[in-house]
Copies of this chain bind each other. A is one copy, B any other.
Amino acid sequence: MSAPLSESVVDEQRSSLADDPVLTVFEKGAPGRRAFQCPALDVPAADPEELLPRELRRAEAPRLPELSEPEIVRHYVRLSKRNFDLDSGFYPLGSCTMKHNPRLHERVAALGGHARLHPLQDPEQAQGALELMWNLQGALGEIAGLPHVCLQPSAGSHGELAGVLLTRAYHEDRGEQRHKVLAPDTSHGTNPATVTMAGLDVVKLATNPAGGVDLDDLRAKADADVACLMLTNPNTLGVFDPNIEEIARIVHDVGATLYYDGANLNAVMGLSRPGDMGFDIVHFNLHKSFTQPHGGGGPGSGPIAVSERIAPYLPVPTIVRGEEGAFDLEYGRGRVGSKSIGRLRSFQGNYGCFVRAYAYICSLGADGLKDASETAVLNANYLLAALRERGVLEQLPLAYGDLCMHEFVLSGGPMKRELQIKTLDLAKRLLDFGYHPPTVYFPLLVEEALMVEPTETETKETLDGFADALAAILREAAENPEIARTAPHTTPVRRLDEVAAAKRPVIRQALTVG
């Protein structure tokens, strides 16, 4: 067995690699190095002043990095190893639907015909792309139960902006200036932020003891000034609102629209459709339910589907199908009486994400999508049961109800009081166990919230292991809370000083601002 070396010496050895100083790409390399070989000048040399007068020219080249190609590769490969990722471990980040990202999608998205297709290519020469988008629109419309789809928005938040602007356009077209948007206190931050950006005012709705919308509060606030109700269903508590029909009725009765935040669509694909619940507008997060990889914070894609009454206002361009089946882009420009809210971004949206989402839908098909949602809900409930069985829910009770949809929210309140560790400590300690923690401190109305979304692509073994880890951390905290409070202990860095970072922000190399 191991030679007799004192613990502290071994420990010193262990940290030698970790002490590799962290240098940025700007602190590496040497002047003059580069990877790029510029193609030779193959046209006649011309007077620089004639090409671009001195006063328009840059005085000094931007101080970009100067490294050889092997250095660049090594720098970023090494950086990558300082990231936790979904391909390496369980990532039950609530509300984010961290499901497996099949590599097939990367393969098909990389095909030259998709990846090197210019966005202004003439539609006759982009028929494959337009057909793909057409098919994806159709599939998303069917899944939402709302027939009119626009793929353009770049993320969920962008889809929300589109949705609120559509609602405005709808009311304005009818001569109404409604300025309120209702949103429950469980809503995601993008909902109220969007309302403000769209020039309207948020009115917060209370949550009832079952975790749904407080109907009395809704009735009280649903007046003629209300443009829209924004809802997530199942909501961010993992609760499917049992009163959804009544809610829709109330909102429609005052002439307002219903907006469905589709971030939680993974619970209900093929099982229940926003359109059938009475919603007018839905956004999808292709990077959640449809497994566009999250990329460390994007790219995303946030298509929207809308009802008949909202359709006239959809953004341009739209895809149209001609008599002979050929596809074209329709810009609405010059079309008399176009009511479109206009463009939300350049070109046609994040096509690369469409390719992946479409490949996913093709792979799963009707049954597969339903299976996915069923398994997502099964996995969440199993994990909940496994935690219950291990006694974890005693200190971390389920915030609402006893079952859940595809995710659930625990409250760390009792744990904080009884074990003197906070949800943050629990989360940090999970890092030492090789898990990405759940979403923490959201939704805001749950004390010390812990929001767990396992997704359908995880196995029972993984769920059991995670339940064991939570139980172990609670047991450990009962004995020595300090371990969790000072966690993590095994990560490349430990807890970081976020206060200092915000107080005196250093947001670029070697320059202190603010």
The CA-CA distance from A100 to B102 in the complex, in Å, is 29
Residue of B nearest to A13 (CB): B489
Q: Tell which of A4-12, A194-202, A313-321, A505-513 binds the partner.
A: A4-12
A338 within 8 A of B: no
The CA-CA distance from A459 to B67 in the complex, in Å, is 10
Which of B13, B100, B103, B457 makes the CB contact (< 8 A) with A483?
B13
Q: Which of A69, A70, A434, A482 has the most B CB atoms < 10 Å from its CB?
A: A70
Establish whether residues B486 and A2, one from each chain, have CB atoms under 8 Å apart when the complex forms: yes
Nearest chain B CB to A124 CB, angstrom units: 25
Residue of B nearest to A491 (CB): B17
Which of B8, B17, B482 makes the CB contact (< 8 A) with A3?
B482
Among A1-45, those with CB < 8 Å from B are 2-3, 5, 7-11, 13-17, 20, 28-30
Chain B residues with Cβ below 8 Å from A432 are 13, 16-17
Q: Mark A107-120, 1 if CB is under 8 A from B, else 0.
A: 00000000000000
Q: Tell which of A81-89, A245-253, A272-280 binds the partner.
A: A81-89
A380 within 8 A of B: no
A333 within 8 A of B: no
A71 within 8 A of B: yes
Establish whether residues A489 and B14, one from each chain, have CB atoms under 8 Å apart when the complex forms: yes
Known: A70-B457, A459-B30, A483-B5. A13 touches B490 (CB 8 A): yes
The CA-CA distance from A73 to B70 in the complex, in Å, is 27
A433 within 8 A of B: yes
Establish whether residues B9 and A483, one from each chain, have CB atoms under 8 Å apart when the complex forms: yes
The CA-CA distance from A461 to B33 in the complex, in Å, is 13
Chain B residues with Cβ below 8 Å from A14 are 11, 14, 489-490
Chain B residues with Cβ below 8 Å from A131 are none
Establish whether residues A3 and B486, one from each chain, have CB atoms under 8 Å apart when the complex forms: yes
Chain B residues with Cβ below 8 Å from A17 are 432-434, 490
Establish whether residues A100 and B7, one from each chain, have CB atoms under 8 Å apart when the complex forms: no
Chain B residues with Cβ below 8 Å from A11 are 7, 11, 14
Chain B residues with Cβ below 8 Å from A458 are 70
Establish whether residues A100 and B70, one from each chain, have CB atoms under 8 Å apart when the complex forms: yes
The CA-CA distance from A489 to B2 in the complex, in Å, is 10
The CA-CA distance from A366 to B87 in the complex, in Å, is 43
The CA-CA distance from A85 to B70 in the complex, in Å, is 13
The CA-CA distance from A336 to B22 in the complex, in Å, is 68
Chain B residues with Cβ below 8 Å from A103 are 73
Known: A3-B482, A490-B14. A74 touches B88 (CB 8 A): yes
A179 within 8 A of B: no
Establish whether residues A71 and B459, one from each chain, have CB atoms under 8 Å apart when the complex forms: yes
Residue of B nearest to A9 (CB): B483
Chain B residues with Cβ below 8 Å from A460 are 30
Chain B residues with Cβ below 8 Å from A81 are 81, 88
A500 within 8 A of B: no
The CA-CA distance from A100 to B480 in the complex, in Å, is 48
Residue of B nearest to A85 (CB): B77
Nearest chain B CB to A290 CB, angstrom units: 16
Nearest chain B CB to A297 CB, angstrom units: 20
Chain B residues with Cβ below 8 Å from A70 are 100, 457-458
Chain B residues with Cβ below 8 Å from A85 are 77
Establish whether residues A7 and B7, one from each chain, have CB atoms under 8 Å apart when the complex forms: yes
A228 within 8 A of B: no
The CA-CA distance from A77 to B69 in the complex, in Å, is 24
The CA-CA distance from A13 to B30 in the complex, in Å, is 39
Chain B residues with Cβ below 8 Å from A494 are 2
A269 within 8 A of B: no
Chain B residues with Cβ below 8 Å from A20 are 434
The CA-CA distance from A272 to B73 in the complex, in Å, is 31
Seed contacts A9-B483, A10-B489, A29-B459; 17 additional CB < 8 Å A-B pairs: A5-B486, A7-B8, A9-B480, A11-B14, A13-B483, A14-B490, A17-B432, A17-B433, A30-B460, A68-B457, A71-B459, A73-B87, A73-B103, A74-B89, A77-B87, A78-B88, A78-B89
Seen from chain A, the residues whose Cβ lies within 8 Å of a Cβ on chain B are 2-3, 5, 7-11, 13-17, 20, 28-30, 68-71, 73-74, 77-78, 81, 85, 87-89, 100, 102-103, 432-434, 457-461, 480, 482-483, 485-490, 494
25 contacts between A and B (CB under 8 A): A2-B486, A3-B485, A5-B483, A5-B486, A7-B11, A11-B11, A13-B432, A13-B483, A13-B487, A13-B488, A13-B490, A15-B490, A16-B432, A16-B490, A29-B459, A68-B459, A69-B100, A70-B457, A71-B459, A73-B87, A77-B85, A77-B87, A77-B88, A81-B81, A81-B88
